[in-house]
């Protein structure tokens, strides 16, 4: 090998090593709050501050993540939406309880991801680049999802939306909530969504002309789920699962999404179009990662503060 070739190879290896150190030691802990404004409320309505949490993949030793999540109470959210994969270890529930209990008294809604049911296992990371994971559950240790339900549903009082609906009135606005269980595992019951929403809307005894805002909640943003929510009149959809690509090209372009959503919508706020309808779609890049893949590149971990405002206020 010539001297110039050796020099080029050394530079390439040095850059790769530096990127690996950055991705494993720095960026995966560079938590941030992304802020969005979504004009879906009635004109003149009081704003609603929604804190979107997703994909914590929490393990007991992750003190930095626990403390950072606890500190999000300073955002003074009116509503918490969790889009699943909160657990990342067989012994994670006490750590998750510590992280979330500061939000006791704040209304919330949640769905699960498969990592709330099954413990993480080692997988060849290169398989992730070849397409969505298969989601096999054979010989995988099951987690105590019932205890997770008790934490979220009973202690915190949040609405469970796994193939279910709920309704909240926040700051004078009615929110109709609809969710599905993890579509990545095929547990989404889209066949029951129309009837559940019909029953929910029939219970609305509001005597004003202000329509309820419909919010869809899913862990994995598969097209079939987003299409169904949009068809059923969702104004806004929350999702997670993608990790924003987790390892992205410089500038944040996702290489993979681990589902069938377009890569350019793997994180952030966008519009989802279907059948001449549209809904705002917020996909969180999430706060964590599998304990077997502790890396992020060009895709920092995030929580999202989405402020709902009246539709007489322009989107910014």
Are 65 and 99 in contact, with CB atoms under 8 Å apart?
yes
What's residue 140's pLDDT? 83
Mean per-residue pLDDT over the chain, rounded: 90
Calculate mean pLDDT across residues 238-259: 94
Cα three-residue angle 101-62-56, rounded to 5 degrees: 65
Query: For residue 260, what are its two tokens?
Result: 């069938």
What's residue 20's pLDDT? 62
Per-residue model confidence as pLDDT tens digits over 128-182: 555 666 655 557 899 999 999 999 999 999 999 999 999 999 999 999 999 999 9
What's residue 127's pLDDT? 59
The answer to whether residue 126 scores a pLDDT higher than 70 is no
Among the listed ranges 1-10, 17-26, 151-160, 216-225, which one has the minimum average pLDDT value?
1-10
Could you tell me which CATH number the domain at 31-310 has? Answer: 3.60.21
What's residue 12's pLDDT? 47
The answer to whether residue 234 scores a pLDDT higher than 50 is yes
Per-residue model confidence as pLDDT tens digits over 82-100: 999 999 999 999 999 999 9
Among the listed ranges 96-110, 180-194, 203-217, 218-232, which one has the minimum average pLDDT value?
203-217
pTM for this predicted structure: 0.92
What's residue 8's pLDDT? 47
Calculate mean pLDDT across residues 219-228: 98
Q: Which residue has the higher pLDDT, 80 or 22?
A: 80
The answer to whether residue 18 scores a pLDDT higher than 70 is no
Contacts of 239 (CB under 8 A, 6+ apart): 54, 83, 217, 218, 219, 220, 221, 226, 281, 282, 283, 284
Beta sheet of 277-283, edge-to-edge order? 164-170, 173-179, 213-217, 236-239, 277-283, 268-274
> Residue ranges per domain, the chain?
31-310
Q: Which of 62, 65, 64, 46 is nearest to 54 (CA)?
A: 65
Q: Which residue has the higher pLDDT, 295 or 125?
A: 295
Reported as a pLDDT band with limits 50, 70 and 90, residue 311 is confident
Calculate mean pLDDT across residues 237-258: 94
């Amino acid at each position: 090998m010539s001297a110039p070739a050796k020099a080029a190879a050394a530079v390439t290896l040095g850059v790769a090593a530096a990127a690996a150190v950055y991705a494993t030691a720095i960026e995966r802990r560079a938590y941030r709050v992304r802020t969005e404004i979504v004009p879906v409320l009635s004109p003149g309505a009081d704003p609603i501050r929604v804190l979107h949490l997703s994909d914590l993949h929490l393990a007991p030793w992750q003190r930095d993540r626990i403390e950072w999540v606890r500190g999000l109470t300073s955002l003074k959210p009116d509503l918490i939406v969790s889009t699943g994969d909160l657990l990342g270890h067989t012994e994670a529930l006490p750590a998750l309880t510590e992280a979330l209990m500061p939000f006791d008294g704040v209304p919330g809604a949640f769905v699960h991801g498969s990592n709330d049911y099954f413990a993480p296992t080692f997988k060849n990371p290169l398989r992730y680049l070849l397409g969505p994971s298969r989601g096999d559950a054979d010989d995988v240790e099951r987690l105590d999802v019932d205890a997770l339900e008790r934490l979220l549903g009973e202690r915190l009082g949040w609405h469970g939306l796994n193939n279910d609906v709920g309704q909240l009135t926040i700051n004078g606005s009615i929110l109709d909530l609809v969710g599905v269980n993890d579509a990545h595992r095929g547990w989404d019951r889209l066949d029951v969504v129309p009837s559940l929403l019909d029953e929910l809307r029939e219970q609305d005894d509001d005597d004003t002309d202000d329509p309820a805002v419909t919010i869809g909640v899913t862990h994995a943003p598969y097209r079939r789920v987003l299409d169904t929510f949009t068809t059923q009149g969702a104004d806004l959809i929350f999702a997670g699962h993608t990790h924003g690509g987790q390892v992205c090209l410089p500038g944040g372009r996702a290489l993979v999404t681990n589902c069938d959503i377009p890569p350019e919508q793997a994180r952030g706020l966008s519009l989802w179009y279907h059948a001449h309808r549209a809904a705002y779609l917020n996909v969180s890049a999430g706060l964590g990662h599998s304990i077997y893949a502790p890396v992020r590149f060009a895709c920092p971990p995030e929580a999202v503060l989405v402020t709902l405002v009246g539709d007489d206020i322009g989107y910014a």
